[in-house]
């Protein structure tokens, strides 16, 4: 991982490898942590070629024959950090897309029916803020005459995620009164 031969690595101190710890700072860090017996933390190690490598260190303090030892295992976080950055970029793109859609979009939990998110078009349609809508059960958005139909449609879609369902014309209850809309539902994994 660091590019050193074992013999060379054994001659190095933590301060030679870890860019965030001098000898004194490392000693102080472990003195604070030794009561915990184990510790997990992120830091950076310097490879033999000079490149900096993000790592996660899982370490323990133990005593053997009356002498205290520090044992640590470092795991390379380079790929994990790339994956996290890609995921964050994807979520940002999705959020921009979601917010910018001209049609109302309501994301509800397929198992429970509770709203988890709505876009600005949904806020305008229902005349309610996002904060007011998140946590509502989808059934609270339909007036009683259409409630049973709304529930059966929701249950069909959530129980048959692979089957396409036709659009449904149904009434919703907004702060300004009833309104007839067309609903298209899709189950997202």
Looking at residue 50, its pLDDT comes to 93
Structural contact between residues 119 and 98, judged by C-beta atoms closer than 8 angstroms: yes
CA–CA distance, 23 with 122 (Å, rounded to integer): 57
pLDDT at 36 over 80: no
pTM: 0.66
Looking at residue 170, its pLDDT comes to 94
100-120 per-position pLDDT tens digit: 999 999 999 989 999 999 999
83-96 per-position pLDDT tens digit: 999 999 999 999 99
Structural contact between residues 125 and 179, judged by C-beta atoms closer than 8 angstroms: yes
126 exposed, middle or buried (CB, 10 Å; 0-12, 13-18, 19+)?
Answer: buried
Query: What is the average pLDDT value for the chain, to the nearest integer?
Result: 91
Span 116-136, mean pLDDT?
97
Q: Name every residue whose Cβ is closer than 8 Å to that of residue 69 and which is 6 or more positions away in sequence.
A: 61, 62, 63
150-172 per-position pLDDT tens digit: 998 898 888 888 887 789 999 99
Span 63-70, mean pLDDT?
86
pLDDT at 187 over 90: no
79, two tokens = 């790929």
Cα–chain center distance at 93: 15
φ/ψ of 25, rounded to 5, equals: -65, -40
Structural contact between residues 77 and 42, judged by C-beta atoms closer than 8 angstroms: yes
56, two tokens = 């996660």
12-22 per-position pLDDT tens digit: 988 899 999 99
58, two tokens = 């899982």
């Amino acid at each position: 991982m660091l590019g050193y031969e074992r013999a060379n690595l054994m001659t190095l101190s933590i301060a030679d490898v870890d860019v965030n710890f001098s000898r004194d700072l490392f000693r102080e860090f472990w003195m604070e942590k030794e009561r915990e017996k184990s510790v997990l933390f992120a830091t950076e190690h310097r490879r033999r070629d000079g490149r900096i490598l993000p790592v996660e260190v899982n370490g323990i303090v133990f005593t053997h024959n009356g002498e205290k030892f520090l044992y640590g295992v470092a795991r390379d976080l380079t790929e994990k950090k790339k994956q996290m950055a890609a995921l964050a970029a994807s979520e940002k793109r999705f959020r921009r897309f979601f917010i910018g859609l001209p049609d109302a979009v309501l994301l509800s939990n397929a198992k429970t029916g509770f709203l988890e998110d709505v876009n600005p078009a949904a806020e305008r349609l229902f005349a309610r803020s996002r904060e007011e809508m998140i946590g509502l059960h989808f059934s609270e958005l339909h007036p009683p005459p259409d409630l049973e139909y709304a529930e059966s449609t929701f249950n069909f879609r959530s129980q048959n995620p692979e089957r396409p369902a036709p659009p449904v014309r149904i009434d919703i209850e907004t702060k300004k009164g009833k309104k007839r809309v067309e609903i298209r539902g899709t189950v997202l994994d």
